[in-house]
Amino acid sequence: MLVRGALAAAAGLVVVLAALTPYAGAALVVDAPISSPDVIVSLASHEWERLPAAVALARRYPRALVVLTLPSSVTQFNCNDCAHRAERLMRAGVEADRIQIVPLTLGGTYGEAVATRGFVSERRLRSVLVVTSPYHTRRALATFRRALASAGVQVGVAPASSTSPARPPRWWASGYDRAYVCYEWAAVAYYRLRYGVPLL
Tens of pLDDT, residue by residue over 135-176, are: 999 999 999 999 999 889 999 999 999 999 999 999 988 999
Dihedral (CA of 167, 170, 174, 179) sign: positive
Integer Cα distance of 98 and 133 in angstroms: 22
| Structural domains of the chain in order of their starting residue, each with its CATH number | 30-169 (3.40.50.620)
Amino acid (1-letter code) at residue 117: R
pLDDT for position 48: 92
Do 34 and 68 touch, CB atoms closer than 8 A? no
Tens of pLDDT, residue by residue over 71-110, are: 888 888 788 888 899 999 999 999 999 999 999 999 899 9
pLDDT for position 19: 45
CA 130 to chain centre: 6
pLDDT for position 81: 84
Q: Is the pLDDT of residue 13 over 60?
A: no
Helices (H) and strands (E) in the chain, counts: 6, 5
Integer Cα distance of 142 and 144 in angstroms: 6
Integer Cα distance of 135 and 113 in angstroms: 17
Tens of pLDDT, residue by residue over 59-74, are: 999 999 999 999 888 8
Stretch 10-15: mean pLDDT: 57
Q: Identify the bridge partners of residue 13 per DSSP, sorted by sequence position.
A: none
Q: Is the pLDDT of residue 8 over 80?
A: no
Q: Is the pLDDT of residue 18 over 70?
A: no
Q: Over the chain, what is the mean pLDDT?
A: 90
Q: Is the pLDDT of residue 32 over 90?
A: yes
Q: Is the pLDDT of residue 125 over 90?
A: yes
